[in-house]
Amino acid sequence: MANKGIVYIWKCMVCGAKHYGKNPPASCKKCSCEANRYVLVPKSSQGNEEWELQNYLGLPGLNNLLYLIGTSRKGIPNAMCCSSVTQISFGPPLVAVAINKNTLTHDNIKETGVFSLMPLGRSQTKLAHHFGRNSGRQMDKFVDYKYQPTSTGCPIIEGCDSYYHCQVDHHTTIELASHTLFVAQILEAVVKASEPPLTYLDYTREMSGS
Ligand SMILES: Cc1cc2nc3c(=O)[nH]c(=O)nc-3n(C[C@H](O)[C@H](O)[C@H](O)COP(=O)(O)O)c2cc1C
């Protein structure tokens, strides 16, 4: 009885679509992203644009750069978009990436211990969206995208001029609740910064048409 009559508003943090109901939809009807990209809009914040913008960024005030993470298992390439990436040491050169346990990328990295890391440029929102809003569990994301494999088979996607080839140190892997934090050493780096980097804020602004 307590909840009778209450209208819950869910908002898609990718395209801004709203959904009304007790639970978020299984996937977004507008942009097809997964349910975990819907957040419940607190009653006190409904219609508050600042709250909405902050939630696009995950945590208020943080605006990460976007990358593609490429993996390959049993000869099958895959890639996903990732914002939780940071450099953590220079000697040896280490990066940390936080990968959701539901993703195919997660399982691929656990098994193979290697991945390619491709920083995205300001003009590459479409790549972020394609690889970040579809799972390799449901589709071959490479049907319309060309790539070159690294020595371990990880894809370097056409148009990604800079990339890092990384090897995970499973001793320093940290299990978080929803994600695993992989620490990896950079084995090879190709850096040709030709345009400004793509940020999460750029991505969400472009996707929401603002
Ligand atoms: C802009 C953007 C940023 C993302 N950042 C992350 C992230 O930091 N970590 C993560 O696990 N997933 C992140 N994702 C979601 C994955 O890219 C998404 O779940 C993808 O479908 C996983 O693909 P896979 O199952 O083929 O590995 C992001 C998606 C987008 C669009």
Question: Does any domain span residue 4?
Answer: no
Task: Provide the β-strand partners of residue 94.
Answer: 89, 185
* Residues 86 and 51 grouped into a single domain: no
| Residue with CA at minimum distance from ligand 1 atom 17 | 132
37, 18 contact by CB (below 8 A): no
CATH number for the domain harbouring residue 28: 2.20.28
3-state secondary structure (DSSP) of residue 103: coil
Question: Does any domain span residue 61?
Answer: no
CATH number for the domain harbouring residue 90: 2.30.110.10
Range of the domain at 32: 9-56
Counted domains in the chain: 2
- CB of 104 shorter than 6 A to ligand 1: yes
What is the overall mean pLDDT for the chain? 87
- CB of 56 shorter than 6 A to ligand 1: no
Question: Does any domain span residue 156?
Answer: yes
Regarding pTM above 0.75, the answer is: yes
Per-residue confidence band for 2, with pLDDT thresholds at 50, 70 and 90: very low
Pocket residue to mutate for ligand 1, from 103, 109, 115, most atoms within 8 A of Cβ: 103
User: Measured in angstroms, how far is the CA atom of residue 138 from the centroid of ligand 1?
Assistant: 14
User: Measured in angstroms, how far is the CA atom of residue 108 from the centroid of ligand 1?
Assistant: 14
pLDDT digits (tens, 9 = 90+) for 44-88: 666 666 555 555 555 556 779 999 999 999 999 999 999 999 999
* Residues 37 and 94 grouped into a single domain: no
* Residues 193 and 114 grouped into a single domain: yes
14, 29 contact by CB (below 8 A): no
- CB of 63 shorter than 6 A to ligand 1: no
Give the tokens for residue 159: 């148009």
- Residue 7: per-residue pLDDT: 63
* Percentage of the chain modeled with pLDDT above 70: 86
* Residues 86 and 171 grouped into a single domain: yes
* Residues 39 and 86 grouped into a single domain: no
- CB of 70 shorter than 6 A to ligand 1: no
